[in-house]
Amino acid sequence: MESIKEEIEKLKKEKRAIILAHYYVPGEVQEIADYIGDSYFLSKKARETEAEMILFAGVSFMGESAKILNPERTVLLPDAQADCPMAHMASREKIREMRGKYEDLAVVCYINSTAELKTMSDVCVTSSNAVDIVKKLPNKNIFFIPDGNLGAYVAAQVPEKNIIVNEGYCPVHREIQEEDVKNARKEHPKASVLVHPECVSEVVRTADFVGSTSEIIQYACQSEEKEFLIGTEEGVLWDLEKKCPEKAFYPVKPGQCCLDMKKVTLEKVRNALKEEKYQVSLEPETMEKARRPLDKMLELGK
Ligand code: SF4
């Protein structure tokens, strides 16, 4: 009998599909992906691909971004309920209020956001390019949505701008507290602490390195150090251990798990390809408006 992985391989060929997987989905799903990465890398792959079908092993805003960037393709999500709570944590009203307050305002939208929020934004960013892109903007006043923690991190790196941060947050990263870093350092005194900028500022301030998931992986692989404490979603450990088997990785706080990302299973990937579900579908007007900030990000992020 065919294994589920063989079935997926066969379906991929039959449907001319590619699988894009985020670092936070289960390791067994990352294993069958054509590309594994963070949101920026995967959105570039989604735009460039010639495949007829894109299966996005991730949460809904990722599928939406892939569809917006490559509308001709069929984009599938293995679980229609896998959603990022932070992606909804900004409001139209607040954006309008801020635009009324500052004439030169740029609304900078973290890619972890709904298509609707993107339609109201000037430029999208990811955790790896947010600082560079904000620096390149001519605007003095910036409203950063939806993640307040990433916004605060960017504000600290770009003090010449007036960055107003929204109050959204990632529930997974917010769980990691300064006390957890202190305890983890006591337990592993030789380890460097690498954290994601979605963590709260007290954690970011005490870390040895702050970066996106890709940057954390790159830092750990290139470093001469041998032990690391990782302050982000635990899925990244799968890739770190695979890439650097001679090094030791410990979570800053065990159990930091994005339950929505973990909804993506091999069975659901197989079913999605087989039944061509769940197709991402957006209004043409929404796609058109949301594409502008995404395109601007890809242009400024070069
Ligand atoms: S880890 Fe946080 S930001 Fe990422 S998808 Fe899960 S809830 Fe959203």
Tens of pLDDT, residue by residue over 107-126, are 999 999 999 999 999 999 99
Q: How far is the CA of 198 from the centre of ligand 1 (A)?
A: 9
Write down the pLDDT at residue 40: 83
Q: Which of 95, 92, 128, 135 is nearest to 110 (CA)?
A: 128
Task: Determine whether the shortest distance from the Cβ of 82 to ligand 1 is under 6 A.
Answer: no
CA–CA distance, 33 with 256 (Å, rounded to integer)? 23
The predicted pLDDT at position 210 comes to 98
pTM of full prediction above 0.85 = yes
Nearest-CA residue for atom 8 of ligand 1: 84
Q: Is 302's pLDDT higher than 80?
A: no
- Residue among 22, 38, 59, 234 to mutate when testing ligand 1 (max atoms within 8 A of CB): 59
Average the pLDDT over 67-89 and give the result: 97
pLDDT class of 1 with cuts at 50, 70, 90: confident
**CA-angle at 146, arms to 143 and 150, nearest 5°:** 85
Who contacts 289 (Cβ-Cβ below 8 Å, separation ≥6)?
118, 119
299: exposed, middle or buried (C-beta count within 10 Å: 0-12, 13-18, 19+)? exposed
Dist. CA 136 → ligand 1 center (Å): 27
Please give the Cα distance from 274 to 257 (Å, whole number): 28
| Bridge pairing between strands 53-57 and 17-22 | parallel
pLDDT at 39: 85
Per-residue model confidence (pLDDT) at position 144 = 98
Asked whether residue 215 carries a pLDDT value surpassing 80, the answer given is yes
Q: Find out whether the beta carbon of 220 lies less than 6 Å from any atom of ligand 1.
A: no
pLDDT of 287 higher than 90: yes
Ligand 1 pocket mutation pick from 112, 125, 145 by most atoms within 8 angstroms of CB: 112
Q: What is the mean pLDDT of residues 179-187?
A: 98
59 lines ligand 1 (CB under 6 A): yes
Looking at 3.40.50.620, 3.40.50.720, 3.40.50.10800, 2.40.10.340, the CATH number of the domain 86-170+289-300 comes to 3.40.50.10800
Average pLDDT for 180-187 = 98
Q: Is residue 301 pLDDT above 90, yes or no? A: no
Q: What is 4-84+261-281's CATH number?
A: 3.40.50.10800
CA of 180 to the centre of ligand 1 (A): 20
Does the Cβ of 199 fall within 6 Å of ligand 1? no
234 lines ligand 1 (CB under 6 A): no
- Looking at residue 43, what is its pLDDT? 87
| Mean pLDDT on 1-28 | 96
pLDDT of residue 116: 97
Partnered with residue 53 across adjacent β-strands are 17, 74
**pLDDT score of 203 more than 90:** yes
Contact 203, 231 (CB under 8 A): yes
Q: What pLDDT score was predicted for residue 183?
A: 98
- Ligand 1 closest atom vs CA 259: 6
Class of the CATH-defined domain 176-251: alpha beta
Higher-confidence position of 43 and 193: 193
Q: Report the DSSP beta bridge partners of residue 107.
A: 143
**Ligand 1 proximity of 233 Cβ (cutoff 6 Å):** yes
State percent of the chain over pLDDT 70: 100
Whether residue 90 contacts residue 166, with contact meaning beta carbons closer than 8 Å, is answered with: yes
Instruction: Provide the residue ranges of all domains of the chain, joining segments of one domain with +.
Output: 4-84+261-281, 86-170+289-300, 176-251
User: One fold for both 86-170+289-300 and 176-251?
Assistant: yes
Averaged over 149-166, what is the pLDDT?
A: 98
- Cα separation of 232 and 181, whole Å? 12
Closest ligand 1 atom number to CA of residue 170: 2
Instruction: Please report where in the chains the tokens 């594409």 appear, as a residue.
Output: 291
Cβ of 172 less than 6 Å from ligand 1: yes
